[in-house]
Chain A
Amino acid sequence: MHVNLKILRYNPEVDKKPHWETYNVECEPGDRVLDLLNHVKWYVEPTLTYRRSCAHGVCGSDAMLINGRNRLACKILIRDLTKDGGTITVEPIRGLKVEKDLLVDMDPFFESYRAVLPFFINDDPVPAGERLQTVEDRERFDQGTKCILCAACTTSCPIFWVNGRYLGPAAIVQAHRFIFDSRDKGTSERLNLLNQNTGVWRCRTAYNCTEACPREIPVTQLIEEVKRAIMYQQA
């Protein structure tokens, strides 16, 4: 089958603003969008720029706006997007500065990530064995552990698009993973960080993040759980 791959391209050295370019590509219905991008880069237009690494939906490098929705290019199949002769649009994720073609500056995203202390905090003396945890306690924060930091949720959030001061859903999911970990002792510190205008209270429950997550994390629900945790902490 043939599809038209329509890519929003931008070269900062030449272009004033991004422009669309269409490539007619031969493919199989079971191919992924990443295969098409690779085909264009390797055989048609070597200047095409995008991130990809593992190509199996684990590293989180290739989140992009495909047919108007944030997805991983390595996870979405052509047959789920269009039929023979159809068009697939690919744009960089929104809300972050485009550096070239589909490559965006991820620094603000990781700055928010670092802001929520995304590491295990426990200053108790190290026990002889492991720090044990019940199955239920592990289940409590299971959803957050699935996050691959691809930024699909944060860059689908309308508040993040318009307001650079919001930490964004991904950072809150990462905070959730440690806040609800029974072994972690940094909960109140993280809740104080999120109990701000720049934290969870910026979330207007648009649910874009939940729809965008390629790992099917119920992102909005986790944000609401953090809001409730702050409420009970302050009560």
Chain B
Amino acid sequence: MIRAKTYNDAKQQSHTNAELNWWIFMRISGVVLTFLILGHIWMTYVQVSEKDATFDAVVFKLQQPAWKLYDWLILSLSLLHGANGARYSIEDYVRSRPNRFWVKSIFYTLIAALFVFGTVGLFSI
């Protein structure tokens, strides 16, 4: 075993399935997102006519709970999927521990803010 030099290394070397679970999540969410987004494109751009391109029509559409849930699924899955992908890159390429801490803190805050604003925006219509 590569010898743990810090508490963090030792913690990483202790037995946990976190990375395994993220790996599985990335595969499943990737496949699910593909179909969710293709369906979204289909319903937004193909399955509509010119008379749907009004303010009232859009508000009516976004008031339906099913549509809200659909959009919220895309929001949460894509944010989690993207955030984890970026976490991989940050852990690979940001080598200094203090820098990694700051980059991760700012990045996760940004993701959390996007999630909160998106959710509030979606469910306040």
Contacts and interface: CB of A to CB of B under 8 A. Distances in A.
B109 interface: no
Contact of B92 (A111, A159, A167, A195): A159
A163 B97 CA distance: 12
Contact of B1 (A115, A159, A162): A115
Interface residues of A, number: 21
Contact of B12 (A162, A197, A227, A234): A197
Contacts, number: 45
A197 B19 contact: yes
Contacts of B12: 196-198
Given A165-B2, A231-B24, 6 more contacts: A115-B2, A162-B95, A167-B2, A195-B17, A201-B23, A231-B23
Interface of B: 1-2, 9, 12-13, 15-17, 19-20, 22-24, 88, 91-93, 95
29 contacts: A112-B2, A115-B1, A115-B2, A159-B92, A162-B92, A163-B91, A163-B92, A163-B93, A163-B95, A165-B2, A167-B2, A195-B15, A195-B17, A195-B20, A196-B12, A196-B13, A196-B16, A196-B19, A197-B19, A197-B91, A201-B19, A201-B20, A201-B23, A204-B88, A230-B20, A231-B23, A231-B24, A234-B17, A234-B20
Interface of A: 111-112, 115, 159, 162-163, 165, 167, 192-193, 195-198, 201-202, 204, 227, 230-231, 234
